[in-house]
């Protein structure tokens, strides 16, 4: 089958306001749709149905490692070479490299290890809430949802918290670049981030501490387990993945509750519902829209469509999680929904390593907010709220609340 002309503009202002209507059309009319990438307008493919997403995420014919592509294909999608010092991480690799890298950190993120962080996460959340102005207004994202997971992951890695504004800015540029052809901001952010991490690692090599980074440096020093570039890339991935997503789970989750006051009151009345409530927030308005990239190494048929060699394919988790074939009345927020096998943490071998941590942070944060702010409400007309640009993250720019 020849490649269809791109018919769906996922990056238009209309799609940013109401992506779900567009995805509903895509699931019906073009479940594997050819679209153009937002920054460089090169062809790529988006999978939008639940079942097909599950299949794609487990399909090992597609590689995560762009260095396996011919140079011209790789450069078509990634013209920022400065990124190469920080992108050799597990999410960009296939077995056996993926297996080796993931096994170096998987023990630090098991449900049991993460549970031990509960008192610390609660203390951080309490302290942030204590600093809210009494009876006032805040941007929940800025004052609570961002600093909470950033503090947790920075402490785990030993990265100085006072540098958070710097790595936040670089992360935002790298993860949610403006839809423009100018790659200069991306290039600069990659250079600064890489330099920052290399300086941090040099300090840790000289003076190891009791943190995950020092444990990784020990693995690097043992020889063949972790190269210097893999080490920098690992810390980069954990730092970025460890906060960029959970921020938006808490913010989007509160946004969803404020839009559905009956669900909010139900949860406030019975905090034990928080576990299924967070699962429903992950499904209804999860923080990751499109997965990261996968590539066809040769012409590869997927659902009757040939994905040409070198081209990029990804799935929309937001769309898969709203597929009526899987979720009855997907547009309804139901904090007791069961079963709720959403795909917000992905599937297959790249299933989110940090899922137990993200779940715990969101459960503690949201229940505490409901307890401590009994009159929490939108401080602006919710139709005025803006969603961020970029392919990966589904998140609000701000969430002003009054309480």
Name the one residue in this structure whose structure tokens are 């013209």.
Answer: 79
Query: Looking at 125-133, 171-179, 203-211, 288-296, which segment touches ligand HEM (CB under 6 A)?
Result: 288-296
Neighbours of 299 (CB within 10 A): 11
* Region for residue 299 given its phi and psi (left: phi exceeds 0; alpha: psi -120 to 50; beta: otherwise): beta
Phi, psi angles (nearest 5°) of residue 46: -125, 130
Rounded to a whole number of angstroms, the minimum distance from the CB of residue 362 to ligand HEM is: 7
Q: Which of 326, 291, 394 is nearest to 62 (CA)?
A: 291
53 binds ligand HEM (CB under 6 A): no
Determine the Cα–Cα distance for residues 65 and 74; give it in Å rounded to an integer.
10
Of 214, 292, 297, 336, the one binding ligand HEM by CB under 6 A: 292
By CB under 6 A, what part of segment 349-388 binds ligand HEM? 350, 352-354, 357-358
Spatial contact of 179 and 39, defined as CB atoms under 8 Å apart: yes
State which residue, 319 or 403, has the beta carbon closest to ligand HEM: 319
By CB under 6 A, what part of segment 103-132 binds ligand HEM? none
Measured in whole angstroms, the distance separating CA 302 from the mean position of its chain's CA atoms is 25
State which residue, 194 or 316, has the beta carbon closest to ligand HEM: 316
Determine the Cα–Cα distance for residues 234 and 231; give it in Å rounded to an integer.
5
Spatial contact of 174 and 189, defined as CB atoms under 8 Å apart: yes
State which residue, 288 or 365, has the beta carbon closest to ligand HEM: 288
Determine the Cα–Cα distance for residues 156 and 82; give it in Å rounded to an integer.
27
Sign of torsion over alpha carbons 330, 334, 335, 339: negative
Query: Looking at 17-25, 236-244, 257-265, 375-383, which segment touches ligand HEM (CB under 6 A)?
Result: 236-244
Rounded to a whole number of angstroms, the minimum distance from the CB of residue 315 to ligand HEM is: 8
241 binds ligand HEM (CB under 6 A): yes
Query: How many positions of this chain bind ligand HEM (CB under 6 A)?
Result: 25
Rounded to a whole number of angstroms, the minimum distance from the CB of residue 10 to ligand HEM is: 17
190 binds ligand HEM (CB under 6 A): no
State which residue, 147 or 403, has the beta carbon closest to ligand HEM: 147
Distances in Å between the alpha carbon of 24 and those of 119, 273, 316, 317? 42, 30, 11, 13
Residue nearest ligand HEM, CB atom distance: 354
47 binds ligand HEM (CB under 6 A): no
State which residue, 89 or 403, has the beta carbon closest to ligand HEM: 89
Q: For residue 299, what is the DSSP state?
A: -
Rounded to a whole number of angstroms, the minimum distance from the CB of residue 348 to ligand HEM is: 7
Rounded to a whole number of angstroms, the minimum distance from the CB of residue 383 to ligand HEM is: 25
Q: DSSP of 221-288, one letter per residue?
A: HTSTT--HHHHHHHHHHHHHHHHHHHHHHHHHHHHHHHH-HHHHHHHHH-GGGHHHHHHHHHHHH-SB
Of 30, 32, 91, 235, the one binding ligand HEM by CB under 6 A: 91
Measured in whole angstroms, the distance separating CA 34 from the mean position of its chain's CA atoms is 23
Of 46, 217, 249, 401, the one binding ligand HEM by CB under 6 A: 249
Of 31, 147, 286, 330, the one binding ligand HEM by CB under 6 A: 286
Spatial contact of 345 and 246, defined as CB atoms under 8 Å apart: no
State which residue, 90 or 369, has the beta carbon closest to ligand HEM: 90
Query: Looking at 17-25, 128-136, 257-265, 281-289, which segment touches ligand HEM (CB under 6 A)?
Result: 281-289
213 binds ligand HEM (CB under 6 A): no
Of 177, 242, 310, 330, the one binding ligand HEM by CB under 6 A: 242
226 binds ligand HEM (CB under 6 A): no
By CB under 6 A, what part of segment 295-354 binds ligand HEM? 344-346, 350, 352-354
Name the one residue in this structure whose structure tokens are 């499904």.
Answer: 283
240 binds ligand HEM (CB under 6 A): no
Around 80, how many Cα atoms within 13 Å sit in the side-chain half-sphere?
Answer: 22
Pairing of strands 312-315, 43-47: parallel
Applying CB under 6 A, the residues found at the interface with ligand HEM are: 57, 90-91, 102, 237-238, 241-242, 245-246, 249, 286-288, 291-292, 344-346, 350, 352-354, 357-358
């Amino acid at each position: 089958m020849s490649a269809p002309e791109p018919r769906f503009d996922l990056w238009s202002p209309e799609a940013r306001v109401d992506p779900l209507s567009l995805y509903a059309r895509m699931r019906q009319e073009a479940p594997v749709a050819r679209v153009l990438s937002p920054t460089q307008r090169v062809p790529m493919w988006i999978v939008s149905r639940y079942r097909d997403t599950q299949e794609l995420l487990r399909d090992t014919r597609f590689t995560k490692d762009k260095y396996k592509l011919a140079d011209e294909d790789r450069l078509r999608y990634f013209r920022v070479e400065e990124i190469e010092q920080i992108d050799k991480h597990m999410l960009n690799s296939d077995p056996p490299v993926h297996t080796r890298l993931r096994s170096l950190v998987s023990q630090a993120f098991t449900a049991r290890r993460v549970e031990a962080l509960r008192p610390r996460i609660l203390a951080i959340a309490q302290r942030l809430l204590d600093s809210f102005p009494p009876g006032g207004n805040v941007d929940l994202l800025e004052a609570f949802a961002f600093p909470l997971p950033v503090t947790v992951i920075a402490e785990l890695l030993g990265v100085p918290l006072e540098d958070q504004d710097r790595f936040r800015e670089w992360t935002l540029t790298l993860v949610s670049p403006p839809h423009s052809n100018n790659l200069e901001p991306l290039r600069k952010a990659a250079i600064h981030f890489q330099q920052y991490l290399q300086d941090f690692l040099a300090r840790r090599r000289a003076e190891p501490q009791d943190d995950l980074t020092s444990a990784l440096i020990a693995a690097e020093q043992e020889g063949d387990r972790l190269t210097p570039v893999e080490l920098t890339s690992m810390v980069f991935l954990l730092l970025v993945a460890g906060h960029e997503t959970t921020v938006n789970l808490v913010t989007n989750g509160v946004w969803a509750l404020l839009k559905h006051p009956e669900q909010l009151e139900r949860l406030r009345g019975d905090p034990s519902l928080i576990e299924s409530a967070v699962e429903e927030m992950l499904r209804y308005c999860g923080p990751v829209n499109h997965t990261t990239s996968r590539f066809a190494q040769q012409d590869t048929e997927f659902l009757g469509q040939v994905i040409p060699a070198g081209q990029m394919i990804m799935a929309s988790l937001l769309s898969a999680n709203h597929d009526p074939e899987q979720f009855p009345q997907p547009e309804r927020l139901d904090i007791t929904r069961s079963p709720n096998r959403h795909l917000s943490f992905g599937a297959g071998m790249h299933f989110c390593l940090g899922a137990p941590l993200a779940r715990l942070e969101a459960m503690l944060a949201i229940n505490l907010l409901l307890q401590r702010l009994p009159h929490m409400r939108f401080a602006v007309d919710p139709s005025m709220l803006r969603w961020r640009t970029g392919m990966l993250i589904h998140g609000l720019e701000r969430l002003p609340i009054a309480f």
